[in-house]
């Protein structure tokens, strides 16, 4: 399989489709037999491969007998493949979102582990974006800066206890405050989901939960930390920064 066909296959066509298309770019115009001979696609598969390419608008056909095929210009082929991929991605996303939403309605709550810094931070962002009433954060090493864009845009009541300087209303840790664990992570509490992040020898991990019991536990934990930071947990109504 030549290099051009390998690259083309990654954009959508099957292996045989990629081989047939690249063969046509070399041949100009050709019958299925000639494509078979040039590309190495088995004769029993070449007609199907060419028909699928035609359905995608990558190959044009004649009305003669036998049928003659020719490839569209490579630039046009790439544009069509990209448009097809975007359309298929949108359709797949809608199908997956519908299935995901239905499954979440039946969820009884649980505790889940997330691995990797990017995945952990992105889940924190998702919690903030999904929350309409409250976003509470405890941030030990200043990771909250990664969440700042979402914090600045949320309309939810925002309470942040942090060591970092960010453009949202915060409550700093007191100078004499020393957490006994120093967990090197952060806690994000939203309307119905929460995330605890921590650093391990294998990298950053997170514990995500939509369990009411876990939510209640960490809301109590947050109120305690907020009180230690010098604020009344029941009186603060600091919102996102303008």
- The domain segmentation of the chain, as residue ranges, is 3-78, 109-228
Residue 168 confidence class, pLDDT cut points 50, 70, 90: low
* pLDDT greater than 90 at residue 14: no
Flag whether pLDDT at 61 surpasses 50: yes
Tokens of 159: 């309470």
H or E stretch covering 68: strand 68-71
pLDDT at residue 178 tops 60 = no
> Helix 43-55 crosses helix 15-27 at what angle (to 10 degrees)?
80
Give the number of other Cβ atoms within 10 Å of residue 175's Cβ. Answer: 6
Considering just the CA atoms, what is the radius of gyration of the chain in Å? 28
More confident residue, 171 or 240: 171
Please report the sign of the dihedral spanned by the C-alpha atoms of residue 128, residue 159, residue 233, residue 230: positive
Confidence at residue 105, expressed as pLDDT on a 0 to 100 scale: 65
> By the 8 A CB rule, do 110 and 214 touch?
no
Q: In this structure, are strands 186-189 and 171-172 parallel, antiparallel, or unpaired?
A: unpaired
Q: Give the pLDDT of residue 36.
A: 94
Q: Alpha-carbon dihedral of residues 98, 103, 107, 112, nearest 10 degrees?
A: -90
pLDDT of 31 above 90: yes
* 51-68 average pLDDT score: 90
Comparing 237 with 62, the larger pLDDT belongs to 62
Q: Which two tokens stand for residue 206?
A: 């997170």
Q: What is the pLDDT of residue 167?
A: 53
**Helix %, strand %, coil % of the chain (to 5):** 50, 20, 35
**Confidence bin at 164 (pLDDT 50/70/90):** low
CATH topology for 3-78? Arc Repressor Mutant, subunit A (1.10.10)
Task: Identify the CATH homologous superfamily for domain 109-228.
Answer: Endonuclease Chain A (3.30.870.10)
Residue 234 dihedral angles phi and psi, to the nearest 5°: -90, -10
Q: Is the pLDDT of residue 196 over 50?
A: yes
Mean pLDDT score of the chain: 79
Q: Which two tokens stand for residue 185?
A: 């992570």
**Residue 97 or 182, more confident:** 97
Q: How far apart are the first and last CA of the chain?
A: 57
């Amino acid at each position: 399989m030549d290099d051009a066909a390998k690259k083309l296959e990654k954009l959508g066509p099957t292996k045989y489709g990629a081989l047939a298309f690249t063969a046509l770019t070399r041949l100009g115009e050709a019958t299925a037999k000639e494509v078979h001979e040039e590309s190495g696609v088995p004769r029993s598969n070449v007609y199907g491969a060419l028909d699928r390419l035609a359905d995608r608008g990558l190959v044009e056909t004649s009305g003669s007998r036998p049928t003659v095929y020719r490839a569209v210009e490579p630039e046009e082929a790439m544009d069509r493949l990209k448009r097809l991929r975007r359309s298929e991605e949108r359709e797949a996303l809608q199908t997956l979102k519908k299935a995901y939403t239905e499954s979440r309605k039946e969820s009884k709550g649980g505790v889940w582990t997330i691995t990797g810094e990017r995945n952990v931070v992105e889940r924190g962002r998702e919690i903030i974006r999904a929350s309409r009433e409250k976003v509470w954060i405890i941030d030990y090493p200043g990771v909250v800066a990664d969440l700042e864009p979402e914090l600045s845009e949320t309309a939810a009541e925002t309470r942040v206890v942090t060591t970092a300087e960010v453009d949202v209303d915060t409550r700093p840790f007191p100078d004499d405050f020393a957490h006994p664990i120093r967990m090197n992570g952060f806690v994000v509490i939203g309307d119905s989901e929460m995330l605890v992040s921590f650093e391990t020898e294998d990298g950053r991990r997170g514990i995500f939960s939509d369990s009411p019991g876990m939510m209640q536990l960490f809301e109590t934990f947050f109120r305690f930390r907020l009180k230690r930071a010098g604020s009344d947990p029941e009186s603060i109504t600091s919102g996102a920064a303008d």
